[in-house]
Each structure stands twice: as structure tokens, then as C-alpha cells.
Homo-oligomer: A and B are copies of this chain.
Amino acid sequence: MNPSIPPAIDWPLLIRAQATLASIPPRLRDAAEFMPIAARQTLCRIGEPVQHMFSVIAGEVRLLRRDRDGAEIVLQRSRGGFLAEASLAARFYHCDVVAAENGGVLRFAAEVFRESLSEDAAFNAAWMSHLAREVRKLRAQCERLSLRGAAERVVHYLESEGSDGAVVLTQSRKAWAAELGLSHEALYRTLRRLQLDGTLSIDGERIALRRRPG
């Protein structure tokens, strides 16, 4: 909510704030740099050699690719924690990494990061389960995009991404529509329809699945 750049950095606070960061070994932590970022700022581009890993501290950062028409496709959104995890094992970035709003990231040298993974068992384990979580999330996303109708995708999203069938959107509905593989008009109409037929309860940014009477 506060897009301004922190004047001084409370490291322990920042680092304790996120699960994976909590297990970062001291050596890697000391080698990290805080980087304020502005909306639309590009952190790295597809094809560039991998030199850094990023962890989002504030704001939102996205992994983007573009189709041949130049239309953006969002591959990942992060509002906290690491992103572009797969690039650690690659030589070149396979996506653009772009800030969606003002905020800040921690920047780690890829080389030091890799060394830390092999030296610190706890960090290694945390990273591995982080990757596994990412795999599960992506599988859920693929499953959702395989569904035919707009309504089915919305419900699937609430069931798999929400807690107890409810989510508080952290993005515009337009952006949500893109994530669901729908036009924004289709999403608006679907939400309206699901609200009217009693499937959903919508209160501002909070969208919840109503328990079926059956």
C-alpha cells in the first residue's frame, strides 16, 4: 500500500518477513543489495546472462513474455519472495522481469546464491520446497487454463488459490482476467452472473465462493 521507497532498511525485519528469506545464510544475506524499483522498471530482460536472483520486498514484480503481436503474457506475479527461480539453473533469462508498481527488491549475486545452496543444508531444503511449491502452483494454473468456461475458471481459482474458497484480489480485475486467460469483459460478465445466481459473494476486492445448499 505504501509505494514510497524506504529511506533506511530494517534488515532483520525484512528478512524475517518471508519464509524463504528466513533461512538465508549470513554470508548470502550480507552480499544482498536492496534495490528500490519504480513501476514499469525492467530488472532483467530475456536473453541476458543470469547474474542476479531477486526477492520481492514491496510492490509487485512480474515475469513477462510477449507473443509475436507484442501482447504481454504474465508468467508469474510475485508480491513477496523470490521469482524467476528457474533462472538460477540457467545461463540466460528466459523472461523479462518487470515491476508492476513502485516497491523494492533484494538482489543476490547468482554465483554466491548457488554456492550458498551447496554449503547450507537448511537453505538448500527451503529452496527445494520453494521450487516444489512453484511446480504445484503452475500445475494448478495449467489445470485452470484447460477448463472450458469462464465460470469454471473463476471457481477453480477460488478453490485452489483462495483460503476456504475466498480471495482478496491484489490486482485489478483486468489483470486477473488476463491471468485466467479471459478478456476482461468476459470476466466482468461472469462475475456478475455468478453473483446473481448466488454462486459468489462479491464485496469489493473480496470474492468468495458461497457454499452450495447441495
Q: Give the contacts of A44-63 with B (CB-CB under 8 A).
A: 63
Question: Please, how many residues of chain A have a CB less than 8 angstroms from a CB on the other chain?
Answer: 38
Taking CB atoms, residues of chain B closer than 8 Å to A94 are 136, 139
A141 to B125, CA, bound (A): 27
Would B65 and A143 count as touching, CB distance under 8 A? yes
A143 to B145, CA, bound (A): 10
What distance in Å separates the Cβ of A53 from its nearest Cβ neighbour in chain B? 12
Measured CB to CB, the nearest residue on chain B to A118 is B121
Q: Does A151 contact B (CB under 8 A)?
A: no
Would B86 and A139 count as touching, CB distance under 8 A? yes
Counting every copy of the chain, the complex holds 2
A142 to B132, CA, bound (A): 17
Would A128 and B131 count as touching, CB distance under 8 A? yes
What distance in Å separates the Cβ of A147 from its nearest Cβ neighbour in chain B? 7
For the A-B complex with A73-B146, A128-B131, A145-B146 known, give 20 more contacts whose Cβ atoms are closer than 8 Å.
Answer: A75-B142, A75-B143, A76-B139, A85-B132, A89-B132, A90-B136, A117-B128, A118-B121, A118-B124, A118-B125, A124-B124, A127-B128, A128-B128, A131-B132, A134-B135, A135-B135, A141-B142, A142-B142, A142-B145, A146-B178
A181 to B135, CA, bound (A): 19
